[in-house]
Chain A
Amino acid sequence: MITTSGLTKVYRSRGREVTALDGVDLHVREGEVYGVIGQSGAGKSSLIRCVNLLERPTSGTVTVAGQDLTALAGRGPRAGKELRRARSRIGMVFQHFNLLSSRTVQENVELPLEILGTSGRERSRKALELLDLVGLGDKAKVYPAQLSGGQKQRVGIARALAGDPKVLLSDEATSALDPETTRSILQLLRDLNQQLGLTVLLITHEMDVVKSICDSAALMEQGRIVESGTVSELLATPGSELAAALFPVGGEASGADRTVLDVTFHGEAATQPVISQLSRTYNIDISILGAAIDTVGGLQVGRMRIELPGRYEDNVVPVGFLREQGLQIDVVGSEGQEPALVKEGAK
């Protein structure tokens, strides 16, 4: 649905060049919720703005719903007619809502329809319908200043849907909201994704957002996508930073000569009593440092951090046993540091 290839964006100011995007290849399938996560300055905002060409990429192409937008852009800085038409079919939701304070809620939702040239009666019918959809049917005549943050974002979402888009871009839509409101807005996005078959590309710096609604995710660092895939693929990737951050388990080794393993269960393996089998088979004592079961992207996943006596070299056989059972094993500390995002999350 959305494909970018070799997307590069270089900002030039006063002779200095800053590379915000450095060859980004992104592929968002139709009907999925795709999350791009990264710290500030990683290039997420530039990426999402390049998708509807609010920012012109320096090079590379953007294809949305089979249409090459970069080809429509023309050479001048202003958006031509065709690009504007294409943009009207891509909804966008903003961190700071960006509602017009001079218009009522209903008039705000009608704005994209005015731009499309829809008739007055049709506009108000559609706007009221959308406000009902986002649960604000009774606030049509109210001004945005009288709404709470969550309600404003609902209006923003209703507005983004006015042009019947197939694709919704969400630029940190929940970052200005409290956790409770964040959850309800994410739930709304998820519902819309399922009811309307809407493809959602969202950028965020909050791991919880990815965890609660994304089917796929990508991790951005310094203008590059360093990891990407569906959530289950990521969780099945040994050593995946994103997986570790999506699903962190705590616990420090109790001594120097211990082996700490992160065991991830999903699918069949989750039902097997592997830990007690391991203990009985090799006659070793296992301590559990931390464990959790969670739903990530709609999948039940369990993760456990266990400690075996002895160094890693002494435990090659038990680790092999666990891997044979179809479990995913990450040896903690063997490759040095913990992933950066985990530490970020711990803060």
Chain B
Amino acid sequence: MTWSEMQPLLSQACWDTLYMVGWSTLIAVVGGLPLGVLLVLTDRGGLLQNVLANKVIGQIVNIARSMPFIILMVALMTFTRWITGTTIGREAAIVPLAIGAIPFFARLVETAVREVDGGLVEAVQSMGGNTWTVVRKVLVPEALPSLISSTTTTIVALIGYSAMAGTVGAGGLGDIAIRYGYQRFETELMWITVAILAVVISVIQFAGDYSARGLHRRGGHSGPAPRLRLLKAKEPAAADAGQAV
């Protein structure tokens, strides 16, 4: 295979990957952020303490997280068809990608939000703020550096998941690597794909780290503060990230 043959394949694949990952990240953030915040708020000692709701949400998240992506994709076929009208192609892949990433991101959000000092929540309450004010003015802005890191982790995980999207004809870099590199022994093409993936992931990771660090440096911490009951750390972010792909 010559470069002129590979080039259109690769640029299409890059575009497909970015398209799928971009949309599913967006949906995962929009869906996972409130879910993660809710997991913290409804927990014992939280502002909206509701043990039953917390258990239910937690269970749903756990079940969704424990499902291998390829199975999730198949299991969601009916739902995907209902949403997009098809089970094949990029749009069809976005649905399971997003559904798979929402609980993943929600757990990361939960961990990030728990790290916010409970004293800040108390301060806003003492000013007459309600729960929504606490979420909007304290929990999300204060957790922002961690939330950005969580988003980075989610994007990287989604790039990994998207390699399997080829099975529903969605294309993308992973699909190229398998169909051409593995099945047709185009080793060269496979290595190029791998290199592109490595570069893309490095760039995303760098950009994420850079912006998170920038925010963190600006803010720093306002003093050694005791963690309130609301904020007992449950599981470290690292454990979540390790299970990513």
Contacts and interface: CB of A to CB of B under 8 A. Distances in A.
Interface of A: 52, 54, 77-79, 84-88, 90, 92, 94, 96-103, 111-112, 114-116, 143-146, 149, 152, 159, 163, 169, 176
Interface of B: 47-49, 117, 119-120, 122-131, 133, 137-138, 141-142, 144, 215, 218-226
B226 A98 contact: no
Contacts, number: 98
Contacts of A152: 222-223
A262 B232 CA distance: 51
B122 to A, nearest CB: 6
10 contacts: A54-B126, A77-B49, A87-B127, A98-B117, A98-B122, A114-B137, A115-B137, A143-B218, A145-B219, A163-B127
Contacts of A101: 142, 219-222
Q: Which 6 A-B pairs have the closest CB atoms?
A: A145-B220, A88-B128, A101-B219, A98-B123, A84-B128, A112-B127
A94 B119 contact: yes
B126 A92 contact: yes
Contacts of B122: 54, 94, 98
A176 B223 contact: yes
Contact of B123 (A85, A92, A146): A92
B223 A96 contact: yes
Contacts of A90: 126
A278 to B, nearest CB: 54
A52 to B, nearest CB: 6
A96 B119 contact: yes
Contacts of B141: 100, 102-103
B119 to A, nearest CB: 4
Contact of B127 (A88, A145, A149): A88
A115 B124 CA distance: 9
B110 to A, nearest CB: 19
A79 B127 contact: no
Contacts of B225: 96, 98
A287 B218 CA distance: 63
A84 B123 contact: no
Contacts of B119: 94, 96, 98
A330 B219 CA distance: 55
